[in-house]
């Protein structure tokens, strides 16, 4: 592992590594422990640094997932935001800490 950071809500730990991945670890429920929840990025280059950027909602009481900025041996910075599928699964596994609620129509 070459770098790590907590998301803005302190719900997930994001790491990057020389195995060319960025990994997201999160608590599953209240008493089931911490697990690798996803690999938001897989690169063809070793990852050297990353930072979590906060995202503020304009709607009071609504929390949004952070964005991830990463850099590797390719000398390019990449900015990623959580797709709808990630938010939906995170909300199902951790309903007490749910991000922005989406209409599922």
DSSP per residue, 15-28: EE-TTSEEEEEEE-
How far apart are alpha carbons 88 and 86 in whole angstroms?
Answer: 5
pLDDT at 97: 75
- Ordered by start, the domain boundaries in the chain are 3-97
pLDDT at 103: 41
- Choice among 3-7, 10-14, 42-46, 73-77 with the minimum mean pLDDT: 42-46
How far apart are alpha carbons 4 and 75 in whole angstroms?
Answer: 18
Cβ-proximal residues to 22 (8 Å cutoff; 6+ apart), any chain? 14, 15, 16, 39, 40, 41, 42, 43, 47, 50, 68, 70
pLDDT > 90: percent of the chain: 37
Q: How confident is the model at residue 13 (pLDDT cuts 50, 70, 90)?
A: very high
Q: How many CB atoms lie within 10 A of CB 86?
A: 16
Mean per-residue pLDDT, 2-9 = 94
pTM of the entire predicted model: 0.80
């Amino acid at each position: 592992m070459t770098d790590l950071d907590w998301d803005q809500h302190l719900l997930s730990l994001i790491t990057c590594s020389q195995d060319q991945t960025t990994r997201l670890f999160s608590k599953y429920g209240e008493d089931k422990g911490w697990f690798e929840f996803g690999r938001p990025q897989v690169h063809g280059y070793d990852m050297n640094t990353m930072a979590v950027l906060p995202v503020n909602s304009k709607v009071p009481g609504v929390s949004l997932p952070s964005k991830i900025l990463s850099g590797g041996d390719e000398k390019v910075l990449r900015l990623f935001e959580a797709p709808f599928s990630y938010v939906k699964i995170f909300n199902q596994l951790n309903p007490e800490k749910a991000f922005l609620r989406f209409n599922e129509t």
